[in-house]
Amino acid sequence: MRSFDFLMRQRLAVGLVFLGILIASYVAVVVTEYDVVKGFQSIPKAVIWSSENFYPDEKSLKRLPKIIAKMQETLVTAVTATTCAAFVGFLVAILGANATRPHWVFSIVSRAIASLFRNVDVSAWSLILLFSFGQSMFTGYLALFFVTFGFMVRMLMETIDLSSADTIEALRATGASPSAVITQSVIPTCMPQFVSWTLFMIETNIRSATLVGILTGTGIGNLFDIYYKSLNYHAASLVIVVIVIAVLLIESVSNAIRRVVLQ
């Protein structure tokens, strides 16, 4: 009897959760004015349209060198922004982590700064930065830098507290100076995680860079936007092919690296 009650109650709870999600979805459909029927109809339409128009043709292949050059530009921007943000983020994380902070005030300040930079979306940062830096690669670089910085501070603060705390305590007990603690304990113990998070953010930022490029008028995103708006769908699809190849390549390389580094 008792187990029956328990099962019933569990089923009731699961049912209520599903009902809640269903109602919330209905509200979301109304608020966003999403046309469910049109949504379903659009999928086959998009498939038919893509198979007829959205493939690279011979003429578009002539644009390949330009597309690859823009892709390279975007990749370099994403990598540069990520590594700079990772480096600065590491410094701030050392100041803020419980195990290494000079004073508890630093923890609160670093957490607040990281939260601000991380939670304002990369597209919002782009729009804000456009005011002062105009349409240039540097605007995109800064937008990616800001978000990555916020993310890295949060993750590295956790990493320092989780993986370095013991060795830091041991070194402190021997009377080691703060700089010795950082170079002999924090950096060696955090390095694998640091490299892994940096690679992860490079992957993320390559995708974001396309979006940022559309907003700031640079890189591969802008090139896609130009082809798309001039209805040159063959060239636009070639841009997508190049992006897919680049992302898959970088993903598999960074996964392989991560496997060795985090072993």
Partner 1 sequence: MTPPTQMSLPRRPFDRSIALMRFIVVLLFVLTLYGFTALETGGVNMADAWSMLADNAATLFFRPALANVTVSELLVSLGVTIGLGFLTTVFGAVIGFGLALASALNIAPVWLSVLVKGFTAIVRAIPTVLWVLIFAVSAGLGSVAAVLGMTFHSAGYLIKAYAESFEDVDAGSIEALRAGGADWWHIVGQVVTPSAMPALISWTFLRFEINFSTAIAMGAAAGAGGIGFDMFMASGFYLNIREMGAFTYAILIFAVIMELIATRLQTRQTHR
Q: Helices in the chain by DSSP H: which ranges?
A: 2-32, 36-53, 58-61, 64-96, 104-119, 122-133, 137-159, 165-173, 178-181, 187-216, 219-229, 233-261
For partner 1, the binding residues in 5-44 under the rule CB under 8 A are: 21, 24-25, 27-29, 31-35, 38-39, 42-43
Q: Does 68 bind partner 1 (CB under 8 A)?
A: no
Q: Does 127 bind partner 1 (CB under 8 A)?
A: yes
Q: Which is nearer to partner 1, 172 or 261 (CB)?
A: 261
For partner 1, the binding residues in 194-233 under the rule CB under 8 A are: 195, 198-199, 207-208, 210-211, 214-215, 221, 224, 228, 233
Q: How far is the CB of 247 from partner 1 (least distance, A)?
A: 4
SS3 182: helix
Please state, in angstroms and rounded to a whole number, the distance separating the CA atoms of residues 84 and 242.
Answer: 26
Q: Does 46 bind partner 1 (CB under 8 A)?
A: yes
Q: Which is nearer to partner 1, 100 or 139 (CB)?
A: 139
Please state, in angstroms and rounded to a whole number, the distance separating the CA atoms of residues 169 and 196.
Answer: 25
Please state, in angstroms and rounded to a whole number, the distance separating the CA atoms of residues 64 and 246.
Answer: 14
Residue from 73, 107, 161, 162 in contact with partner 1 (CB under 8 A) = 73
Q: Does 65 bind partner 1 (CB under 8 A)?
A: no
95 CB burial (10 A radius; 0-12, 13-18, 19+): middle
Q: Does 69 bind partner 1 (CB under 8 A)?
A: no
Candidate ranges 90-98, 161-169, 175-183, 239-247; the one touching partner 1 (CB under 8 A): 239-247
Question: Residue 98 contacts by C-beta under 8 Å, 6 or more apart in sequence?
Answer: 107, 161, 165
For partner 1, the binding residues in 146-185 under the rule CB under 8 A are: none
Q: How far is the CB of 168 from partner 1 (least distance, A)?
A: 20
Draw the binding track, 76-95, toward partner 1 (x: CB under 8 A; -: no contact): xx-xx--xx-----------
Please state, in angstroms and rounded to a whole number, the distance separating the CA atoms of residues 169 and 225.
Answer: 54
